[in-house]
Copies of this chain bind each other. A is one copy, B any other.
Amino acid sequence: MSYKLGIDLGGTKILIALEKEGGGIISSGKFPTGATRGVDSVLDNLASRTSEVLSHAGVSRHELVGLGICVAGFYDIRTRTIVSSPNLPGWEQFPLEQELKKRFKVPVLVENDANAAAYGEYLYGAGRGKKNMVNITLGTGIGGGIITEGHIYRGGGGFAGEVGHINVLPGGPLCGCGRRGCLESVSSGLAIAREGRLLLESGGGDLLRKITGEKGQLTAGHVFEAARNGDAGAARIIREAARFLGLALSFVVNILNPEVITMSGGMAQAGEQLFVPVRHYLKEAAIPPSGDMVSVVPAVLGEEAGVRGVLSLLEQYLKKL
């Protein structure tokens, strides 16, 4: 038998999936990235955890035919290096493909994580059959992956789909990227939690205060819960986040005219509480022919989307070798 490894290297966690010939994940694992410990530590950890996943399935390293990995960061398709990664300090200019080839002695395919997740949703998830689609990841940050005519669209350097850093509010809140007013700085989980804290500091948000008091450190989830239960301040925060997200998605829709936008990640779990206002603001701002035809729906693959996507890309890559 021959096996393939699919890996999702994120800023906070790493997912590993082992796929048998012909498809089907037979073993998988998930562990913290430990990004602050640096590149070598993460790679060593990745190697030993991969061995665990293999041995758990009774598969030998020699039965591996390839490794596909998606990574949270700007991966330059021209130089095949990670240009930079806000969530993986120290990986700048790192030749990930080359390094993994050396360590695993199999063909390696590298892809940006948002692209891989979009491809997964396109092939197996909520974007199935929709050749022009966009997947938005809503979590601590906001990412985007674009499928055009059934293929990942990467752009000239591999940096396409950076929806999270669309400048929706010039001069607005400071973003992790160092600029002000990116979508991520006003509509991400982090931004919603920040606004929730500001609400409490200003003496508002009684219900939010109660929920947070019961559950510990304030999260975006608490703000959603408080809004759902009638806290007007929390509801305003959610509405503002949805307004900017809908606005940014209207730009995506005007530019790309996708058939569907799928939304994944922790924040998408809020479901219709988030989707209804996002659709409203999107439709308000988009040009009608494109705004009318796009549907905005939850992604369905969850955190598996990236490894599913990258395993399919790996399969195509191996066939071409």
Contact A156 B258 (CB under 8 A): yes
Distance in angstroms between the alpha carbons of A161 and B154 in the assembled complex:
17
Residues from chain B with Cβ under 8 Å of A163 in the complex: 254-255
Contact A155 B257 (CB under 8 A): yes
Indicate how many identical chains form the complex: 2
**Given A154-B257, A254-B166, A257-B154, A289:B247 Cβ within 8 A:** no
Chain A 253-293 near chain B by CB (<8 Å), digits 1 or 0: 01111110000000000000000000000000111011001
Chain A 64-75 near chain B by CB (<8 Å), digits 1 or 0: 000000000010
Contact A160 B285 (CB under 8 A): no
CB of A146 closer than 8 Å to a CB of B: yes
Contact A287 B256 (CB under 8 A): no
CB of A47 closer than 8 Å to a CB of B: no
**Given A83-B289, A287-B165, A289-B84, A259:B160 Cβ within 8 A:** no
CB of A227 closer than 8 Å to a CB of B: no
User: Residues on A close to B: CB < 8 A?
Assistant: 74, 76, 83-84, 130-132, 144, 146, 148-149, 153-163, 165-167, 170, 177, 179, 247, 250-252, 254-259, 285-287, 289-290, 293-294
